[in-house]
A and B are shown apart, each in its own frame.
Chain A
Amino acid sequence: MGALLTTFTTTIVLDRYEDIREALFHPELSRTFDRRTYDEGNIRDGVVSTSHGPVHRMRRRIENSQFRPDVLRLYERDLFPRVLNDLLDRVVDGPSVDLFAVAEVLSVVLAALRAGIDVDEQDLAQLRELVRYVDVFSQGSAILDARDPEAVRRLVVETYATFERDWLRPSWERRAALIERDRRDSLGDEVLPHDILSVLLQHRDDARLELADAGRVVREVATYLQGGTHTSAQTMANAFDLLFEADAGPDQPALVARCADDLGFCQRVVHETLRLRPTTPRIRRRVETDTVVAGRVAPRDSLIVLDAAAGNRDRELFGDDADRFDPDRVIDSGAPRWGLSFGAGAHQCPGRSVAGGFPVPAHADLDPEHIFGLVALEIREVARRGIHPDPERAPRRDTRTERFTRWASYPVRFDRWAAPT
């Protein structure tokens, strides 16, 4: 791994669910690996997901305003359904397509809206260009698992520059003008877009947020664009991989067919997929000051490796068949169905409810205001088009990373597809 990691005083690996959860809530464990080792050109410098302490809490306070239930409902019930089927008609344009590429285009529309990047949702060329940016930023977000970290760092630095010039600055200038007008004429909240870039610009004068460096705004918006697109797309590919495998098994449970009719089932598929195929299988933390983690003495600058993939299969919480893909699994332990896959504690994924919806209760009906999550919506609509594996082309893993849950392509066949116009 070379230059990107520090030399740690010791390494502690935790693989039990409760131990990992305790570590994720631990206030003395941070995600700031980068500070001392590659300050120059640090691709994650100042991004909320690697910040720590008061600045992290301040940033999360303003950004969390974009993940309130009323905003989630607006996206899930209004904005997304309007674009979902239209986009599917255009990207599922033949009997055989790459499901991962389809999922990326579907997800990038909403991720761009949420991040604050103005994009023409009807323009497939624009959407695919944004997806190419996401692919680079995704390599950056997984740099600790990259096979060639220095090459990734250089690529990401170059890509930030064109992203800022071609995408972020036009969106920034439009929002800055609106904010200026709002301050002068009190236009009201409804005039300003509901997105991360807008809230960052609205509060940028607050020194406690440490956003004076424009590069931090660029990296923050890119992080939300990447997180909102890549995780959702990978989860959809992993979901159908697990569904196909189950349907081809001896019991032939016809799970894909169930997805076409049952949004609640789709959501449980998403959660079960995330549990078995976490986007970040191994989470890392650095110890800020001498402390104890899950009963283990952890000196300052220890590396704590949290094996979330193992913790998500902890039999004490998920049952003796925890290795099996079972979206109907009943979990009485109180653990979320997705296990540790959205993280936990201060750095838990802010977009958790966007992608995965609200938690599903073990023994109660869903609330009428329940949020199912956007990946569940995508799975239902894709299942309705008669998806099945492509017998002639095998899926390919993303070999640029050591993360076993990432796909490079996932060819599938569709029974129903729209001819290109």
Chain B
Amino acid sequence: MTIESRVDPELCIGSGDCTRLAPAAFQLDEDQGVSVALANGVAGTAFEVLVQAARGCPTQAIDIVRDGEVVYRSNGR
């Protein structure tokens, strides 16, 4: 199973909720004030935790893709 994630930088408000829930998968870019997904960290984080982070994202800025299929889609698209 391959898991990927992406944070929409236009939607993200840098709340830091995802980095607190899944610190290996997401990191704050303080220059831009937004969160970014870390490919290796995403792969090493439990799928349920990633979904929890995406569901809890205040602006629904996180996509979760499992085996090529979008299983959680951000509000951006």
Contact indicator B33/A64 (Cβ below 8 Å): yes
Majority secondary structure of chain A interface residues (helix, strand, loop or mixed): helix
Partner of A62, one of B15, B33, B75: B33
Majority secondary structure of chain B interface residues (helix, strand, loop or mixed): loop
Q: Does B59 contact A (CB under 8 A)?
A: yes
* A318-375 interface (Cβ within 8 A of B): 334, 344-348, 350, 358
Q: Does A170 contact B (CB under 8 A)?
A: no
Contact indicator A65/B59 (Cβ below 8 Å): no
Partner of B15, one of A334, A348, A358: A348
Partner of A61, one of B20, B33, B52: B33
Q: Which residues of B contact A64 (CB under 8 A)?
A: 13-16, 33
Cα separation A334 to B30 with both chains bound (whole Å): 29
On chain A, the number of residues with a Cβ less than 8 Å from chain B's Cβ atoms is 21
- How many A-B pairs with Cβ below 8 Å? 47
Partner of B60, one of A25, A67, A347: A25
Cα separation A27 to B10 with both chains bound (whole Å): 13
Q: Which residues of A contact B30 (CB under 8 A)?
A: 65
Contact indicator A346/B13 (Cβ below 8 Å): yes
Q: Does B11 contact A (CB under 8 A)?
A: yes
Cα separation A320 to B64 with both chains bound (whole Å): 34
Q: Does A60 contact B (CB under 8 A)?
A: yes
Interface string of B1-29 (1 = CB under 8 A from A): 00000000011111110001000000010
A177 CB, min distance to chain B CBs, angstroms? 24
B26 CB, min distance to chain A CBs, angstroms? 13
* A31-75 interface (Cβ within 8 A of B): 54, 56-57, 60-62, 64-65, 67-69
Q: Does B41 contact A (CB under 8 A)?
A: no
Partner of B20, one of A334, A346, A358: A358
Cα separation A347 to B58 with both chains bound (whole Å): 8
Q: Which residues of A contact B60 (CB under 8 A)?
A: 25, 27, 345
Q: Does B43 contact A (CB under 8 A)?
A: no
Contact indicator B14/A61 (Cβ below 8 Å): yes
Q: Which residues of A contact B38 (CB under 8 A)?
A: none
In chain A, what residue has the closest Cβ to B75?
Answer: A27
Contact indicator A69/B15 (Cβ below 8 Å): no
Cα separation A25 to B75 with both chains bound (whole Å): 10
In chain A, what residue has the closest Cβ to B21?
Answer: A359
Q: Does B34 contact A (CB under 8 A)?
A: yes
Contact indicator A57/B13 (Cβ below 8 Å): yes
Q: Which residues of A contact B52 (CB under 8 A)?
A: 334
Question: Contacts A344-B58, A345-B59 known; A57 to B11 CB distance under 8 Å?
Answer: yes
Question: Contacts A25-B60, A344-B58 known; A60 to B20 CB distance under 8 Å?
Answer: no
Cα separation A344 to B13 with both chains bound (whole Å): 13
In chain B, what residue has the closest Cβ to A334?
Answer: B52
**Interface hub of B15, B16, B28, B60 (most chain A Cβ within 10 A):** B15
Interface string of B59-77 (1 = CB under 8 A from A): 1100000000000000100
**Interface hub of A27, A67, A346, A348 (most chain B Cβ within 10 A):** A346
Contact indicator B16/A68 (Cβ below 8 Å): yes
B62 CB, min distance to chain A CBs, angstroms? 13
Contact indicator A60/B13 (Cβ below 8 Å): yes
Question: Contacts A61-B34, A64-B33 known; A69 to B20 CB distance under 8 Å?
Answer: yes
Contact indicator B33/A65 (Cβ below 8 Å): yes
Contact indicator B16/A348 (Cβ below 8 Å): no
Cα separation A68 to B52 with both chains bound (whole Å): 20
Contacts from B to A (Cβ < 8 Å)? 10-16, 20, 28, 30, 32-34, 52, 58-60, 75
Q: List 9 A-B contacts (CB under 8 A).
A: A57-B13, A60-B13, A64-B14, A64-B15, A69-B16, A69-B20, A344-B58, A345-B58, A345-B59
Pairs A-B, 10 closest by C-beta atoms: A61-B33, A60-B13, A64-B14, A61-B14, A57-B13, A346-B59, A348-B58, A346-B58, A27-B75, A345-B58
Contacts from A to B (Cβ < 8 Å)? 25, 27, 54, 56-57, 60-62, 64-65, 67-69, 334, 344-348, 350, 358
| Beyond A61-B13, A348-B58, 8 additional pairs, beta carbon < 8 A | A27-B60, A57-B10, A60-B14, A61-B33, A64-B14, A69-B16, A348-B15, A350-B15
